[in-house]
Structure 1
């Protein structure tokens, strides 16, 4: 019997509590940095499994299993929910008004706990160190940094490799991997431009920040089309423009909220520099007497998978699940803060996608070309991964990836 088969041999008997953990998490979601009950539950389970458990970063939890000589593997799950009102109608729907696990972090927590228990009980099949890390506040891009700032890199062994997975609206029973960029970097940017207020009947007495902001918005549309090389990816979105309070008053300032998505660090720096240059140039042309303000927030790093690690995990997935269940992941324009954790250790990583959509519904929608319309995506109030086989696949993916490094030879 292989090492993987040995460790996963007890999976069927564990799925009951894994499903129960998932439904309880879904019923009782907690927002970013408020994951108190979730952390307490995770802490208790890891301790019961035999892990050395630490609280790092307030609600962050890390379990370490030392099992002889060998590599150190870190696997991460995020725990926070979203300020979304659930509309799934599930019997285990959220019982917290206006809060929902609309991104699948309940899947992430329950599957990593399942893998942690199986690896603890199957220690004869592997050698090394396994770290199960449960991160808060991924949704606001802050949780990984909170743990790092609290000394994560000095409080746990340095991993040789790090893993994470994310449930997505792909067919349940499948996983998807890719080397290189898989999730984009994201930068939110608040820009305030200052003019000179005046009455609407006396526009010549003003420096109109509304006209100035409108000019900036139009000019920003040329950043991607004219300053980013064709074939490179970038998105610049102006999500909000706010100015004034009345129709006959020219205000003295305008505020714009932007979101920028990129994969490549050079493209990112090019785009951000172009935005600031355009804003300053338009302010100068308008004759403003005050420089604009730039405030960056909710920043997420790009997630770019190590090629060698990804190749090895992909091969292990194919060997275990079969080639039909392992797909090539398409790059996503969503963002994550997982990569800060392995980067803090200088460790390579890979981040894969876990299918969570009903396979029959997905195939029917794919045949009609209506997947985007018919299959609820992450952050939707209708997002509801099917428990089976999603949870089983998630547990297996964690175990298989870990044993691709830890399996006793």
Structure 2
């Protein structure tokens, strides 16, 4: 039996609730910076529980979202949310323009400040319609064409709401301040950069963040670190010419882009740790009889740490500029966003393992540490808390993942989410017991 199938009384109490919330979010996926309906639903749920909720422009203050999608995409997503929720929805207006996400706080009086982070965006993936795909059979598959919660963020939100319900129901027995951050735009390394600067996170004694799945077996990882990454947009500009009559007059931007793509995949990998490169898109809107004068591509590099990421980025710039020089075209390389590698607080990771054992997990249910060969923008928040005198740690609620992450058949077990809510509640209460001890010191 998987660890998450052994639900305690608190897990059983929120199971139906987290299942229903996860299924609702799964049916209504929204892309990065377009999480308007998602944010409004979260605000409503948390306000009804008694949390103090801040969202939209009042939450963001002087901060501004970056790497936003095209304006027409933002406007269409906002209009769709307004059409569903109604003109009078009290939350939507303040989110216009991409000011999504929220922070919910429950103040129970003197004690530690504990923060929990959950990401909320979906992916541009068309969900499988196969009869063996559980969301289809159970009636909660995505109703939005070309969009899907294919990474588990619908589950993360459900864990957060389950935790919120348990905190609210036991408020009289709790102390301290509980801050739940529902962060937008993780998939584009957007929201975490800004949420790390929010005043609601400042002074946090502890920050917990989590990802479901990732490790494709039922195991709790107490210390999950993520590799660093950077994303770039590249534009090659050449000179058009007749492809048959005088091709030698032209300067072929598309050929330069093709040579750059080949060269990018040929970059020598770093001997000091994991390194990655991927070209996700290449486009040239050009007829067949004209030498192409403009081509675009978007690519990413990753590294086990920030230094290896920077090595990959430097080599990528060199080979792209070399490809442009070969074809005598110009090139612009624009950084779009980045992910950082930052270690978890070792004392908090060790304490989480102790608490997992006390919560009923066996040694075989726990993995001490794991470096995920992917990237996460929660690391900006981890860094802010750890460097601010607190303790921050990222966990994995590992489980068999149908189809794999970012796949059209992605699915996760609902009991895992109820277990996660209950385990987080356990951590929150146990932290109160050791408040003021050496375990809270950096």
Q: Which bin holds the TM-score, normalised by the shorter protein?
A: 0.7 to 0.9
CA drift at 1:74: 0.7
Structure 2 residue corresponding to 1:386, chosen from 410, 413, 435: 413
Alignment of 1:4-403 (within 5 A): 9-55=9-55, 56-57=59-60, 58-87=99-128, 88=133, 89-98=136-145, 99-123=147-171, 126-147=174-195, 153-155=198-200, 158-168=203-213, 170=215, 174-178=219-223, 182-201=225-244, 202-225=246-269, 228=270, 230-243=271-284, 245-288=286-329, 290=330, 292-302=331-341, 304-320=343-359, 321-345=361-385, 346=388, 347-357=390-400, 375-388=402-415, 390-403=416-429
Distance of 2:127 and 2:255 partners within structure 1: 40
Give me the whole-angstrom Cα distance separating, in 2, the residues matched to 1:386 and 1:157: 34
TM-score normalised by length of structure 1: 0.81
Following TM superposition, by how much is the alpha carbon of 1:163 offset from its aligned partner in structure 2, in angstroms? 0.9
The 3 A distance-change label for structure 1 pair 85 and 217 is: closer
User: SS in structure 1 opposite 2:350?
Assistant: helix
State how far apart, in whole Å, the 1-side matches of 2:338 and 2:351 are.
30
| CA pair 95-207 structure 1, distance change in 2 beyond 3 A | closer
User: Which residue number in structure 2 is paired with residue 406 of structure 1?
Assistant: 432
Change (3 A) 1:165 1:349: same
SS at match of 2:343: strand
After superposition, the CA RMSD in angstroms is 2.8
More deviation in 111-120 or 328-337? Answer: 328-337
Pick which of 245-254 and 255-264 moved more: 245-254
Paired residue secondary structure (1:153): coil
1:188–1:297: 8 Å Cα contact kept in structure 2? Answer: yes
Q: 1:189, 1:259 within 8 Å by CA — same for their partners in 2?
A: yes
Give how far 1:294 is off: 0.7
Moved over 6 A (4+): none
Distance 1:171 1:232 in 2: 22
Q: CA deviation at 1:108?
A: 0.9
- Kindly state the Cα deviation for residue 138 of structure 1 after the two structures are TM-superposed: 1.9
How far does the alpha carbon of each residue in 1:142-200 deviate from its partner, in whole angstroms, 9 at most, with x for none? 2234546xxx6324552122111111165675322336xx2222322122233333333
Residue 330 (structure 1) shift: 3.7
Contact 2:237/2:294, CA 8 A, preserved across alignment: yes
* Separation (CA, whole Å) in 2 of partners of 1:323 and 1:21: 31
- Matched residue pairs, number? 375
Measured against aligned partners, the alpha-carbon deviations of 1:346-402 in whole angstroms (never above 9, x if no partner) come to 3542111113438xxxxxxxxxxxxxxxx31122221121212x1222113322333
Gaps of 5+ in 2: 1-7, 61-98, 436-442
Provide the C-alpha distance between the structure 2 equivalents of 1:252 and 1:76, rounded to a whole number of angstroms: 45
CA gap of 1:101–1:199, structure 2 versus 1, over 3 A, is same
Aligned-pair distance for 1:271? 1.8
Q: Of Structure 1 and Structure 2, which has the larger fraction of its residues in strand? A: 1
* Paired residues of 1:79 and 1:136 also in contact (CA < 8 A): yes
The gaps in structure 1 that reach 5 residues or longer are 1-7, 359-374
Structure 2 CA distance for partners of 1:94 and 1:245, relative to 1, 3 Å: same
The Cα of 1:222 is off from its aligned counterpart by: 4.2
SS at the partner of 1:138? coil
